[in-house]
Amino acid sequence: MNLEEYRKHGKEMVDYIADYLENIRYRRVYPAVSPGYLRNVLPASAPVDGESWENIFADIERCIMPGVTHWQSPHMHAYFPALNSPASLLGDMLADAINCLGFTWASSPACTELETIVMNWLGKMIGLPEDFLHRPGGSGGGVIQTTASEATLVCLLAARTRAIRDVQENEPDLLTTEINSRLVAYCSDQAHSSVEKAGLIGLVRMRYIESDSEFSMRGDALIEALKRDQAEGLLPFFVCATLGTTGACSFDNLKEIGPICQQNGLWLHVDAAYAGSAFVCPEFRGWLQGVELTDSIAFNPSKWLMVHFDCTAMWVKNSQALHRTFNVDPLYLKHENSGQFLHWQIPLSKRFRALKLWFVIRNYGITGLQKHIREGVRLAQKFEALVFADARFEITAPRHLGLVVFRLRGENTLTEHTKQKNENFGSSLLLANSPMSPKIVNGSFAAIYDTADVFEECMKTFGKINIEAKDSPAIRRRIRGILMSGKQFSLDSRMDLVQGYVCSRPLLASPSELPLMKEDEYTGACESDVEKMSESDNDKSLAHNNWVESDSSKAYENKLSKAGSNYVVVNGALVSTDAENNDDNTVIIPSANVGFPRSETIAAIGSRPYTDLEPVRVLREKWMKGKGSEEDDGNKELCKKCGHYPTRQ
């Protein structure tokens, strides 16, 4: 293909991409293919002679698209978002054409200098202290990494180098390997699995600090773990705090953790992969308090800032720690003007990623990006209100930013059945709390148990799905971890192989009482109230009286007493329980034993006025089974461990 042909076919490809994104909502999200499908449609060997572009282009729809999971579809509900934008796509198109390897200033001055400028822009946009920015005479600065996982690994390795140097200054006879064997890193039990992987690569122990009732790592728990390890002669050196965890978008307490790390000489890294984008909005920066006490921070503009993958922004206070860890200077790399990003990362070469980030920031501006983030939060608030209004579902953790953690009431088999039907239909993709899933993603906190519960439920699960230790190394690791009584488990180890509790009754919540962003009734436009958003989203907890309707427990008891034997109270309304009158137009939901008219959808139920909800039929005998007395039912609170109502003894 020559350049003239490239002009022609390039325009065709741009049109194809634009049409693909414009009509993506009509494509099946999850591909209806089996493993190995592509081997049946492509030849086993490469072509000897070149093929025409027309044949290659035709094979995109014939071979590739049938096996694509369409991440940009509005029906893609699995994982955190992985957004893109036209500006980002155009930026990478140019970067790919330039195709420079910007590992030093001399290898591509524009690549190096634009990255320093854009990283300063972005750092100021999210409110980072100046110590993290590139400036004359300063040692801090930002760099674009491929993923947040790589950023965590880079910082852990830099912290390890610093810790070994510090020990050898006082004990020069100690071998590096001996010191490394005593090093210990720490993170929350809600931290991403990439933190665990970084510890494996760095050959250091990883301690999982038990989170509090809001799934946050706190200072007192960290101090206790540090003292225990120091008493055993171990060397704490690294802490990874998370702002916006994968499971529930919870936030570790930097104001408590930061001083502890400084007093003990620990490197404090912040993984804000998802939530970091939200800090472009001042009202969400309350979670960032204490960042001045950290050593490094990273987040993914590729998640929520409309810069397509890969793009991870990472800042450090002291770049010399990176240089000491990754410094390689072969002769062919030496130059008198060598600003060295190759010493800030694991790979030698660096793509021109700054171009797409630069394009997006300039195209949308700070106000445009803030509007995008606030709209995402507003939609999450609206969805949360719909879930609150629907008795079939429960909210298992407070909503933060754009993540709503909810589950279908009842045993996990119902969720599994729904998930399987959804995959077979293929119109949308979501991952749920499943013993067969590799990780709980945007799922439920129903599987967080104490040690005894983990052991008991896992044994049940192993029997149901015939899992044996010999099946895979991953299964063996998890079984071994679960059997280690008294140890803390990572999120993966605790959540992958257990089933949810059976809940006792629906939440009594009015969506009208939720702190929503203002939305115009006719245009749908939203207006952000910064003070209200700050109060609702910067709180580390959501009080019980915000989860349930304003009726007191006494009022709730009065409703029950007035209802008599043929009615119960669901979402604050009197509901018929006359099973004899059930007909074919009523659907009984096994998880909560609640019947809904077949014509009703989740959205329709949630969008109707709270006081106008039509009665739904309930099988009273099953509904009340195991509920015990009704006297204190209104005072039940969510279990701090699992997010469910406690089972009556």
Q: What is the pLDDT of residue 525?
A: 46
Q: What is the pLDDT of residue 535?
A: 42
CATH of domain 85-483: 3.40.640.10
Compute φ and ψ for 95, nearest 5 degrees: -60, -40
Most confident of 158-162, 191-195, 599-603: 158-162
Nearest to 596 by CA among 420, 411, 606, 513: 606
CB-based burial of residue 5 (10 Å sphere; 0-12 exposed, 13-18 middle, 19+ buried)? exposed
User: pLDDT digit string (tens) for 374-410?
Assistant: 999 999 999 999 988 888 888 888 899 988 888 777 7
CA 490, distance to chain mean position in Å, is 15
Q: What is the pLDDT of residue 518?
A: 40
Give the whole-number percent of the chain exceeding pLDDT 90. 33
Nearest to 439 by CA among 497, 512, 383: 497
548 or 482: which leads in pLDDT: 482
Mean pLDDT, to the nearest integer, of 475-500? 43
Range of lowest pLDDT (56-60, 133-137, 539-543) = 539-543
pLDDT of 461 > 70? The answer is no
Neighbours of 28 (CB within 10 A): 17
Contacts (Cβ under 8 Å, ≥6 apart) of 129: 291, 292
Three-class DSSP category at 377: helix
**434 confidence band (pLDDT: 50, 70, 90):** very low
Q: Going by CATH, does the domain composed of 3-68 fall within 1.20.1340.10? A: yes
Q: What is the pLDDT of residue 101?
A: 84
Residue 456 is given by DSSP the state: H
**327 confidence band (pLDDT: 50, 70, 90):** confident
Mean pLDDT, to the nearest integer, of 329-354? 65
Q: What is the pLDDT of residue 570?
A: 38
Cβ atoms 404, 384 nearer than 8 A: yes
Task: Give DSSP secondary structure letters for 230-258.
Answer: HHTT-EEEEEEEEBS-TTT--B--HHHHH
pLDDT of 223 > 50? The answer is yes
Q: What is the pLDDT of residue 501?
A: 27
Integer angstrom CA distances of residue 146 from 31, 154, 301, 362: 27, 11, 11, 22
pLDDT of 359 > 90? The answer is yes
User: Is the pTM for the entire model greater than 0.85?
Assistant: no
Per-residue burial over 388-415, b if 16 or more Cβ lie within 10 Å, else e, is bbbbbbbbbbbbbbbbbbbbbbbebebb
Residue 400 is given by DSSP the state: B
Distance CA 332, CA 361 (A): 35
Q: What is the pLDDT of residue 468?
A: 52
Q: What is the pLDDT of residue 477?
A: 53
Neighbours of 4 (CB within 10 A): 8
Most confident of 244-248, 278-282, 525-529: 278-282
Q: Mean pLDDT of all residues in the chain?
A: 71
Contacts (Cβ under 8 Å, ≥6 apart) of 644: 394, 396, 446, 500, 501, 503, 504, 638
User: pLDDT digit string (tens) for 81-116?
Assistant: 788 899 999 999 999 899 888 777 877 888 888 999
Nearest to 147 by CA among 335, 361, 377, 314: 314
Compute φ and ψ for 244, nearest 5 degrees: 95, 70
Q: What is the pLDDT of residue 88?
A: 93
Domain regions of the chain by residue span: 3-68, 85-483
Integer angstrom CA distances of residue 6 from 1, 2, 52, 91, 560: 6, 6, 13, 18, 73
pLDDT of 48 > 70? The answer is yes
Nearest to 401 by CA among 542, 302, 278: 278
624 or 456: which leads in pLDDT: 456
Nearest to 338 by CA among 108, 5, 35: 108
370 or 31: which leads in pLDDT: 370
Residue with tokens 């044949």: 55
pLDDT of 416 > 50? The answer is yes
Indicate the residue type of 93: M
462 or 548: which leads in pLDDT: 462
pLDDT of 229 > 90? The answer is yes
Integer angstrom CA distances of residue 247 from 72, 306, 401: 21, 22, 13
Contacts (Cβ under 8 Å, ≥6 apart) of 458: 479, 482, 497, 498
pLDDT of 158 > 90? The answer is yes
Range of lowest pLDDT (132-136, 230-234, 465-469, 470-474) = 465-469
**7 confidence band (pLDDT: 50, 70, 90):** very high
236 or 172: which leads in pLDDT: 236
User: pLDDT digit string (tens) for 567-589?
Assistant: 433 333 444 444 444 444 333 33
**590 confidence band (pLDDT: 50, 70, 90):** very low
Range of lowest pLDDT (107-111, 246-250, 498-502) = 498-502
Residue 130 is given by DSSP the state: G
pLDDT of 602 > 60? The answer is no
pLDDT of 595 > 60? The answer is no
Mean pLDDT, to the nearest integer, of 521-532? 42
Q: Long-range contacts made by residues 92-98, C-beta under 8 angstroms, separation at least 24? A: 92/308, 92/355, 92/356, 94/355, 95/351, 95/352, 95/353, 95/355, 95/356, 98/352
- Both tokens of 511, joined, read 């969506």
Mean pLDDT, to the nearest integer, of 204-222? 90
CA 192, distance to chain mean position in Å, is 8
Mean pLDDT, to the nearest integer, of 50-75? 90
Cβ atoms 111, 102 nearer than 8 A: yes
